[in-house]
């Protein structure tokens, strides 16, 4: 089984005019679990943030990059990313949010402890 097949979590990072957040996003990526999938997508190409992130994180096996120049709007962008999720859990991580190491592990533990919960 590959790492992608054993991952329980996919983290979605939609980009839009994200150049000021590249360093911030890279910090968040370092806090994500080793066994997760990360989908980084830019649907508007308003700047080169996705290229800068791919140059920095392109060798990270957890991360996949998607580009689609369109004006689909945030909601449709997220829905298109959710359509790519093949894991038990998924999370949207906005470009300007901050997480700490262990954040997602705590959320998954909470969901495992409460199987009837819909979200954590």
Q: What is the pLDDT of residues 24-60, one digit of tens each?
A: 999 999 999 999 999 999 988 889 999 999 999 989 9
Written as six digits, the tokens of 10 are 């996919």
Within 8 A by CB and 6+ apart from 57, the residues are 26, 29, 40, 63
Per residue in 106-116, pLDDT (tens digit) is 999 999 999 99
Buried b (16+ CB within 10 A) or exposed e, 5-36: eebbbbbbbbbbebeebbeebeebbeebbeeb
Q: Is the whole model's pTM more than 0.85, yes or no? A: yes
Greatest Cα pair distance in the chain: 42
């Amino acid at each position: 089984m590959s790492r992608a097949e054993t991952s329980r979590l996919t983290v979605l990072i939609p980009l839009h005019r994200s150049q000021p957040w590249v360093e911030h996003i890279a910090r968040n990526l370092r806090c994500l679990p080793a066994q997760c999938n990360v989908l980084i997508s830019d649907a508007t190409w308003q700047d080169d943030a996705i290229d800068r992130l791919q140059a920095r994180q392109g060798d990270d096996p957890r991360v996949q990059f998607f580009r689609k120049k369109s004006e689909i709007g945030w909601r449709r962008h997220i829905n298109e990313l959710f359509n790519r999720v093949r894991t038990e859990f998924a999370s949207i991580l906005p470009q300007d949010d901050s997480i700490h190491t262990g954040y997602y592990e705590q959320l998954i533990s909470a969901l495992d402890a409460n199987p009837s919960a819909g979200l954590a």
